């Protein structure tokens, strides 16, 4: 069994990763900015991406999950995703850690589209030069019980509406499968850039996936395809309203440009020792059920 250092362990994917790692007998050192309740198999290390001293001491591998997915400026994305990665990577090297698994994004394939994608591409460039055995994982769209990022798709589908890009295809993965993929890379030896998904060949047409979400909430939503100009107009409205309300926009210009891109299908080598276990109909139904039980969706 291994001792693993994890950033982002209190987040949506990170919580699942910690749970799975402990279930499989590993010991975890997890970075946290806030006090946490004691959990079997987990040593909480106080700190953040700017100061993570001690996190990597005595571990076999680092899994760097933490990052910034929404920000107001490219500089904020750079600080969270590039500088944060650099700090954790430096700590891993100083502690002579044998392996580093970095969570990036499919957005890194098209860095010109968004500040987020540019910051993730820049963070990827740090990894091979660090002199540590490494692997980079680029998740596609992630969903699962408790996820707030994809909840809006379920809420709209329950109202009988699905807003999707005009064209293109995308891959998806359940958060539990993603956690298992990360653990396989951290405890294995495969090196390179990996793009996991749920095993559905060549991803999904956006309209088809919206209908799967509709089936999960027992509706047949009207699928409305939104052109790129419409997405950018929506981003302008949401950005203006978010400034008045003092919050980050749900549909930023970054995200609008990302959604409008026609190819977010996962490709590349398979991850040794890992295969996805959760097909979209099963995973979406379980996610919708969780939303209902939690009161996020009306029964």
**pLDDT score for 32:** 92
Q: What is the pTM (predicted TM-score) of this model? A: 0.95
Contact indicator for 248, 72 with CB cutoff of 8 Å: yes
23 has a pLDDT exceeding 70: yes
Long-range (24+ apart) CB contacts under 8 A made by 155-158 are: 155/296, 155/297, 156/221, 157/210, 157/213, 157/214, 157/216, 157/217, 157/219, 157/221, 158/217, 158/219, 158/297, 158/298
247 has a pLDDT exceeding 80: no
DSSP letter at 83? I
Query: CB atoms < 10 A from the CB of 148, how many?
Result: 9
pLDDT (tens digit per residue) in 111-165: 999 999 999 999 999 999 999 999 999 999 999 999 998 999 999 999 999 999 9
For residues 214 and 207, what is the distance between their CA atoms, to the nearest angstrom? 10
Query: CB atoms < 10 A from the CB of 10, how many?
Result: 18
Each domain of the chain, given as residue ranges in start order, spans 3-141+171-198+264-277
**pLDDT score for 246:** 74
Residue 299 pLDDT grade (very low, low, confident, very high; cuts 50, 70, 90): low
Angle of helix 280-293 versus helix 206-216 axis, rounded to 10: 50
Token pair in block for residue 212: 């799967």
pLDDT (tens digit per residue) in 190-224: 999 999 999 999 999 999 999 999 999 999 999 99
Fold of 3-141+171-198+264-277: Rossmann fold (3.40.50)
Closest Cα to residue 109, out of 192, 7, 193, 227? 193
244 has a pLDDT exceeding 80: no
**pLDDT score for 248:** 77
Instruction: Please provide the size of the chain in residues.
Output: 299
**pLDDT score for 193:** 98
pLDDT (tens digit per residue) in 258-292: 889 999 999 989 999 999 999 999 999 999 999 99
Residue with more model confidence, 16 or 258: 16
Going across the sheet that includes 204-205, the strands are 204-205, 169-170, 263-264
**pLDDT score for 40:** 92
Q: Is 58 left (phi over 0), alpha (psi -120 to 50) or beta?
A: left
Contact indicator for 178, 12 with CB cutoff of 8 Å: no
Q: Cite the DSSP H helix spans in 29-150.
A: 74-77, 84-94, 115-126
Token pair in block for residue 7: 């950033």
Residue with more model confidence, 230 or 243: 230
Residue 236 pLDDT grade (very low, low, confident, very high; cuts 50, 70, 90): confident
Give kind and range of the element (H or E) at residue 136.
Answer: strand 133-137
**pLDDT score for 232:** 84
Contact indicator for 231, 245 with CB cutoff of 8 Å: no
Mean pLDDT along residues 243-268? 86
Q: Give the β-pairing of 169-170 and 204-205.
A: antiparallel
5 has a pLDDT exceeding 80: yes
Q: To 10 degrees, the CA torsion angle through 95, 101, 103, 107?
A: 120
| DSSP three-state, residue 151 | helix
For residues 219 and 205, what is the distance between their CA atoms, to the nearest angstrom? 18
- Tokens 């939503």 correspond to 221
pLDDT (tens digit per residue) in 54-102: 899 999 999 999 999 988 889 999 999 999 999 999 999 999 999 999 9
**pLDDT score for 167:** 93
């Amino acid at each position: 069994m291994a001792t693993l250092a994890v950033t982002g362990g209190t987040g949506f994917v990170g919580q699942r990763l910690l749970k799975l790692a402990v279930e499989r007998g590993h010991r975890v050192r997890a970075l946290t900015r806030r006090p946490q309740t004691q959990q079997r198999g987990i040593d909480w290390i106080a700190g953040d991406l700017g100061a993570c001293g001690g996190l990597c001491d005595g571990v076999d591998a680092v899994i760097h999950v933490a990052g910034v997915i929404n920000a107001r400026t490219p500089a904020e994305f750079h600080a969270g995703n590039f500088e944060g990665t650099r700090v954790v990577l430096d700590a891993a090297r100083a502690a002579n850690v044998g392996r580093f698994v970095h969570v990036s994004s499919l957005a890194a394939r098209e860095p010109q589209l968004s500040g987020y994608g540019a910051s993730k591409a820049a963070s990827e460039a740090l990894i091979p030069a660090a002199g540590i055995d490494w692997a980079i994982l680029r998740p596609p769209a992630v969903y699962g019980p408790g996820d707030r990022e994809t909840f809006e798709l379920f809420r709209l589908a329950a109202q009988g509406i699905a807003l999707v890009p005009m064209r293109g295809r995308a891959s998806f993965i359940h958060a539990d499968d993603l956690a298992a993929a990360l653990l396989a890379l951290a405890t294995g030896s495969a090196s390179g850039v990996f793009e996991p998904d749920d095993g559905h060949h060549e991803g999904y047409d956006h309209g088809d996936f919206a209908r799967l979400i509709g089936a999960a909430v027992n509706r047949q939503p009207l699928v409305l395809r939104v052109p790129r100009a419409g997405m950018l107009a929506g981003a302008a409205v949401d950005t203006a309203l978010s400034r008045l309300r003092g919050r980050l926009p749900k549909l930023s210009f970054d995200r609008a440009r990302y959604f409008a891109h026609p190819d977010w299908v996962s490709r590349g080598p398979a991850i040794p020792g890992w295969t996805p276990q959760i097909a979209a109909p099963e995973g979406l139904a379980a996610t919708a059920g969780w939303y209902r039980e939690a009161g996020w969706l009306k029964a």
